[in-house]
Amino acid sequence: MAELEGRDPRFGVSGNVLRDLVSLGHACGEMTTAGITARVVKQATAAKKCAYIDVLRDTAPCSIGPVSVFVSHAWASELSSVVDALGVIADSLDQRTATGASQASVEAVEGGGDGETFYWFDPLINNAHTVNDKPLSFWCDSTEAAISTAGCLIAVLTHWNDAKLFTRSWCVYEIFCAKEAGAQCEVRMPSSQTHEFGRALLADSECAAPVLSLIDSKSAEAKDSTQQQHLAGLIASSPGGFEDLDRFMRSMLQTWFVDAAWSFATSLLRATTVDGPAKSRSPSTTSTQSIPKPPPPTLTPSTDTSNFFQHAAQMCISFGMKAKAKEFELLIQTT
């Protein structure tokens, strides 16, 4: 891996490293990934002019291991929200699935529940001191290699109605690489977003449509126009081009919306069942969602619950997911 020195695609960092980074950022008043990279990561690596992961090799070697998840996120996001979405500050599988990840996908990422997950997280893998010394081809090749090695990409959105990630050229390129490599791809969000999206869907069955309409890979932007044009060219020259990638990204986000709606629906059933949790089936083509830890919403049981199920079914139909719509329609009979 000499040609990828300083950005070895084989290794990632543990969840504890990401959690500790949030604490270090808070201590110096920084919240975003960009701010924490500048104030924490660069200072911690200033003496050796190396990547943060290289410091960890000397100080905490157990926090480094074979990469299994590539994290794609916007650097303007608050790091605590990103870490929450990944589930690394959750105490249980129930809380991790509340981030929008199905139990099956969590187990796939975490090796069936055994072993530790190691994340490819750009600010800690890149050498922040030599970023401008590498050619664009280096960044493209190493990104592709890391995603292919991990076999799983998690695209983190910090708010259900903010598709900022899908407007950034590098994030879009990362998803493109995952798609081309046949890697597992999914969207995750902070646990609070399941509740927030559920309330929005209760009010408007078409609330997801404006967010999905923002997905337009051809219009994705980067700070450097040369990089933007190069990445767009790679996507445009691939089979299916921008149109195929947009369909793929919409499908990722639609899956999160449906999974989040199912999780919210199940919490409603629990809230409105007198004799304990209601037994309901998960969507036939969607993995079972565990119940999120936040308390269920205060709603009018007979009216709001039924309306939510109807709106969720309508949303699924608009996505072309008729089988999932049937699952929500069946729930109406329980109200």
What are the pLDDT digits (tens) for 56-75? 999 999 999 999 999 999 99
CA dist., res. 163 & res. 74, Å (int): 10
Residue 240's pLDDT is 95
Band of residue 269 on the pLDDT scale cut at 50, 70, 90:
confident
Instruction: Return the percent helix, strand and coil in the chain, to nearest 5.
Output: 55, 10, 35
Q: What is the pLDDT of residues 26-36, one digit of tens each?
A: 999 999 999 99
Strands of the chain, DSSP E: 11-14, 64-66, 69-72, 118-120, 152-156, 184-188
Band of residue 332 on the pLDDT scale cut at 50, 70, 90:
confident
DSSP, residue by residue, 199-211: HHHHH-TTTTHHH
Residue 214's pLDDT is 94
Q: What is the pLDDT of residues 120-135, one digit of tens each?
A: 999 999 998 988 888 9
Residue 302's pLDDT is 60
Q: Is the pLDDT of residue 150 over 90?
A: yes
Residue 151's pLDDT is 96
CA dist., res. 53 & res. 47, Å (int): 14
| Helical H segments across 5-78, by residue range | 15-27, 33-36, 42-44, 52-59
For the question of whether the overall pTM of this predicted structure is more than 0.75, the answer is: yes
Q: Which of 182, 105, 109 is nearest to 148 (CA)?
A: 182
Residue 20's pLDDT is 94
Distance from the Cα of residue 172 to its chain's centroid: 13
Residue 304's pLDDT is 85
The string over 259-286, giving b where at least 16 C-beta atoms fall within 10 Å of a residue's C-beta and e elsewhere, is bbbbbbbbbbbebbeeeeebebebbeeb
